[in-house]
Structure 1
């Protein structure tokens, strides 16, 4: 069974972060420029405080209008962030994301942030798993015919 560690090995360990004082307008610009869906909000001690996603910004815009862009990441962020670990399976990560209705999952190893995976990463890994199973079964059936 594939794990979060395998996803990170393939996609890389880069994580975009912002300070809690970063303006939402700057966070939105970063998301657009880097073509990513979320950033982690970290304090100066590199401790994760929360996450700001495209969805968070859109929801706040709907509720507060243009004032949202003047808010800080610390004001807007989701504070209760679920995390995965390197040995979390792809299926477990998918279940967490589906049940929690979120699309980004920080990966922590021994209290240290090592990566961030998205639902797209998880779906891609799951498709690769399924393709491997299909190829194995096809080879088995073809060999036994």
Structure 2
């Protein structure tokens, strides 16, 4: 299975924040959408980074109680790990494990944003794929037997 198949089911809508937004505003947005990360986009929509719950927690540990009033750009991860719609789910899972990330922006061939996938999206897809393979194998054995 490829990432593009997940996006067809999940959709391509991506929640984003601006680098000048406060951490509090970003945290509220994450909570409102029940997600673990938001992309950080500039005024022209360009992809600047990602802000995750993990980034916020690290920021709180470093800056203390005043963290919520600070800007997203101070906490966001700028070095993005990305995939394409043609990336295999197994490759994306290996990349997430190796780079210790939980969200991958999906970029098309021209570098445009196609969507965002989470570790949960990929695990769900792998489970569905394994269940389908098991059912097909059962049907094959039953037909051959």
TM-score range, shorter chain: over 0.9
CA shift for structure 1 position 40:
0.6
Q: Distance in 2 between matches of 1:79 and 1:127?
A: 31
CA shift for structure 1 position 127:
0.5
Segments of 4+ moved more than 2 angstroms: none
SS of 1:15's equivalent in the other structure is: coil
Q: Distance in 2 between matches of 1:47 and 1:76?
A: 18
CA shift for structure 1 position 63:
2.2
SS of 1:134's equivalent in the other structure is: helix
Q: Which residue in the other structure is 1:5 paired with?
A: 4
CA shift for structure 1 position 143:
1.2
**CA-to-aligned-CA distance 1:39-78 (integer Å, 9 cap, x gap):** 1111112111110001111121122211211211111100
For these two proteins, the number of residue pairs brought into alignment is 144
SS of 1:140's equivalent in the other structure is: helix
Q: Which of 58-67 and 15-24 deviates more?
A: 58-67
SS of 2:19's equivalent in the other structure is: coil
With the length of structure 2 as denominator, give the TM-score of the two structures: 0.96
**CA-to-aligned-CA distance 1:15-41 (integer Å, 9 cap, x gap):** 011111000010001001111110111
Q: Which residue in the other structure is 1:120 paired with?
A: 120
Q: Which residue in the other structure is 1:93 paired with?
A: 92
Q: Distance in 2 between matches of 1:39 and 1:66?
A: 22
CA RMSD, aligned part only? 0.9
